[in-house]
Chain A
Amino acid sequence: MIREELAERLDQEIDGIRAGADPSASLELRPLLELAATFTMLPDPEFRRQLKAELHEHAESARFSGTGETPLGIDPTDFMAVGRTFGDSADDFRPEGQVEQGQVERRPALPGWARSDGDRRSVRAGAIAGALSVPSLAHNELSPLPADPRSLLVSFVSHAALVALIVSGILAGHRTVLKPNSSPSELTYVALPIGETAPHGGGSGGERNTIRASRGTPPKFNDQQLAPPVIVVHSPTARLQVNSTVLGPPDLKLPQSNQLGELLSPNLTMPSNGTGSEGGIGSNRGTGVGIGIGAGVGTGSGGGCCTGIYTPGNGIRPPRALYDPEPDYSEEARKVKLQGSVVLSLVVDATGHPRNVKIARSLGMGLDEKAIEAVEKWKFTPGMKEGYPVATRVEVEVNFHLY
């Protein structure tokens, strides 16, 4: 057979075997086809390089973490019992006493070819698993702990950290970030959309004193004001002793102390109801506390507290989420594995409730609605201005991730 014919015949045989045909090669070609069969399973050189690079990367990260932790809790020293005698015996990897006789077809090198006519046996899965639990050469007895005690410590710490991360919500599906608006802080005097009947103003009072009201805290809010707060009591023999209150929603909480007064007033020593009028504490008019008008607290008028919507910064402390349940994933988004974030704009009112939640950046596929639905259930500590809770406009970024 001339060389061209031989090369052509060889190639036809290779193609035929690949297609599943039985080899019909001559004795001259058979050794070459056997080599070709071995070749079909040689590793891709690119894979070899990539794996090396990947291992190098892991090695570097291990160097920085300083751990030699065994993955999946497996101590490979246990494998020593299986692999230790390789090279000494034909039965190197056979777990003693756990081999069952049986018939298992061995994979042919190429379709239609049997590699060997040798002995055939099978071992049930449990047998090998059992063999892997035998004592190692490194340790002559079974031990529930890893060979290196440091591994146990590192494992414990890393798992604890992971659990903490998951519990804190950092890794668990939806991370939420409170973002202040980028616009500068300013008092807008826009009424909060919590209903026309609800009080939403500030309050003040005073007795036209020349000294600013003493520093202290306002009394509690109540729907009705039976007695205005005063620092200097001019009628100590009143028949009916009633606790003073300011007008506002009872769930609106302000700092409380034994000393009534105006928050953050510079007057720390002289008892004074302030420079305002009509009986409260402060520098304007009304029966409340602060610099507004009415029976409430702080700026604004009409009761309640702290009218106006602020943006955090410039002395306005931002609100902070106290209760922030995660949003659900919409079925639609889950099906197409949509991930990303929705940005919502909202006002956190002075009671810490989210109001007027709107979409600032949409993600679609029902995730916007899911984000709004979740954020409307949130509870915040309100933003603060000069010690008074104020409404603040913030943005909330709700991240949707599938893990």
Chain B
Amino acid sequence: MRIVEREPEERALIEAAQNQPARFAELYEQNFDRIYAFFARRVSTRDEAQDLTAEVFHQALASIRNFRWQGAPFVSWLYGIAAHVLAKHWRSLGGDVPVDEMHLPGSRDEIEQSVLLGRLVDGLPPNQRTVLIRRFVEQKSIREIAQELGRSEGAVKQLQLRGLENLRDKLGRKP
């Protein structure tokens, strides 16, 4: 699976951000999911992935004026920064730097699957989305979610099931 780049639009966005850094927000929105997914597959905690993602975008913003359009998608440039940030992160932890899963066949598709999943979550019915985010992103228990939503635990479990099934179907992973 690959997200098709719309080159002229992206190039215009880059030039806009180079002239007016506040426009960087659009590039951020377009590329956040993929950069985050890049790290999420390579570190063990969400906090680590978020910290490294933040580092990449800060570096990218600070250097956007140095970017020269060479025909490659903007995200390639971001992946380059991400690879550097990740290598530095691993070095700071000591020991060898494991090779990127990015080197392995199919890894790009896995990233795009993660990106797609994030976007599909946004398209879920609000109650299912809320339950999944609180359960998996915020790491809350079924009981806590039930109390917060004023629903029974059984109802929350049902929403959790339906939400995951919905996503499975949208991703084409039929049982």
| CB of A144 closer than 8 Å to a CB of B | no
Given A137-B68, A138-B70 in contact, is the A43-B36 Cβ separation under 8 Å?
Answer: yes
In the assembled complex, which residues on chain A have CB atoms less than 8 Å from the CB atom of B164? 10, 32, 35-36
**Shortest Cβ distance from B133 into A: residue:** A45
Contact A104 B99 (CB under 8 A): yes
In the assembled complex, which residues on chain B have CB atoms less than 8 Å from the CB atom of A58? 21, 58, 61-62
**Shortest Cβ distance from B64 into A: residue:** A68
In the assembled complex, which residues on chain B have CB atoms less than 8 Å from the CB atom of A81? 80
Contact A123 B168 (CB under 8 A): no
Mark each residue of chain A from 9 to 34: 1 if its CB lies under 8 Å from any CB of chain B, else 0. Answer: 01100100000000000011001101
Contact A124 B158 (CB under 8 A): no
Within A144-192, the residues touching B (CB, 8 Å) are 146-148, 151
The bracket for how many chain A residues form the interface is 35 or more
Contact B137 A84 (CB under 8 A): no
- Looking at A27, A82, A124, which has the most chain B CB atoms within 10 Å of its CB? A82
Contact B103 A79 (CB under 8 A): no
Interface residues in B, total, Cβ within 8 A: 87
A interface residue numbers (CB < 8 A to B)? 3-4, 6-8, 10-11, 14, 27-28, 31-32, 34-36, 38-45, 47-48, 51-52, 54-56, 58-60, 62-63, 68-71, 74-77, 79-87, 90-94, 99, 102, 104, 106-107, 115-116, 118-125, 127-129, 132, 137-138, 146-148, 151
B interface residue numbers (CB < 8 A to A)? 2, 18, 20-22, 24-25, 28-29, 32, 36, 40-44, 46, 49-50, 53-54, 57-68, 70, 72-73, 75-84, 87, 90-91, 96-108, 113-114, 117-118, 121, 132-133, 135-139, 142, 154, 157-158, 160-161, 164-165, 167-168, 171, 173, 175
Query: Can you name 21 A-B pairs with beta carbons within 8 Å?
Result: A31-B175, A35-B164, A41-B49, A55-B61, A58-B61, A68-B18, A74-B84, A76-B80, A79-B77, A80-B72, A82-B84, A84-B72, A86-B72, A92-B108, A93-B79, A106-B98, A115-B41, A125-B87, A147-B66, A147-B68, A148-B65
